[in-house]
Amino acid sequence: MAKIRLYIDHPLVAGQPVPLDPGQAHYLSSVMRLRVGDRIRVFNGQDGEWLADLEQVSKRGGSVLPVEQSGPQVSPPDLWLVFAPIKKARTDFIVEKAAEMGAARIKPVQTGHTNADRIRQDRLQAHAIEAAEQCGGTFVPTVDDLTPLSRLLQGWDPERRILWADEALAGPAQTLAGLATGPWAILIGPEGGFSDTERSQLRQLPFVTPVSLGPRILRADTAAVAALALWQAALGDWRQD
Ligand code: SAM
């Protein structure tokens, strides 16, 4: 059974060669020691998972030949993760875990207490791709560039509800079971929490639901994973009814 999985940003059609970029060619030939004719699994975020044979490979690139579809396209529920970036390794962790946990879109936001004033969107997108490759997913969430939270909220579509992880509510954890289904976003603050201005703005928005994540104050990366798990279990694709 082919174990190596690669995300390839091209249509997948049986018998139509798909190019590999130099990084992928290097990984397959030099790191994994694959040879022409070896089989891998590929996905592009739209066409499900395919078995594909290595057709050519050199230091500069190569190609694979899709043979047959081995799994359906499975897209996650319509859940975004909106979070304030923290230190680099922890931000990488948040993006990786959000992709594994089934966030459909990842939106870094700058808040009053966010230390970062820029992010490497391309690097974070690459982390989301790697996470999808290793977790068996066929979907890769888009990671957006950094946006000020205030601007994001001004243009927000009220049909998409926001689950606001509010550290001021730390206490008994809440069940999300009664919440409406439909598009949602989880909002996680930075190490310094939300500012007073942000809190009063969020409290006034009818599409925002504040929520406690239990009695302890969690680090932002832990809070992101905990909130994603709660939402997936109550309203998403972990739900058992
Ligand atoms: N500095 C803040 C404080 O001392 O209150 C803590 C911020 S916490 C490290 C980072 C983010 O994780 C918060 O803004 C919130 O979104 C989320 N968070 C952490 N623990 C939480 C809890 N028990 N309930 C709700 N949200 C929580």
DSSP string, 19-76: EE-HHHHHIIIIIS---TT-EEEEE-SSS-EEEEEEEEEETTEEEEEEEEEEE---PP
83 φ/ψ sector (left φ>0, alpha ψ -120 to 50, else beta): beta
Atom of ligand 1 nearest to the CA of 217: 20
Atom of ligand 1 nearest to the CA of 188: 16
CA of 127 to the centre of ligand 1 (A): 24
Domain 79-235 has CATH 3.40.50.1820: no
Question: Which of 110, 114, 217, 228 has the most ligand 1 atoms within 8 A of CB, as the residue to mutate?
Answer: 217
Map out the domains of the chain as residue ranges.
5-71, 79-235
Domain 5-71, CATH class in plain words: mainly beta
Q: What is the pLDDT along the chain (241 residues), one digit of tens a residue?
A: 678 999 999 999 999 999 999 999 999 999 999 999 999 999 999 999 999 999 999 878 999 999 999 999 999 999 999 999 999 999 999 999 999 999 999 999 999 999 888 999 999 999 999 999 999 999 999 999 999 999 999 999 999 999 999 999 999 987 898 999 999 999 999 999 999 999 999 999 999 999 999 999 999 999 999 999 999 999 999 998 7
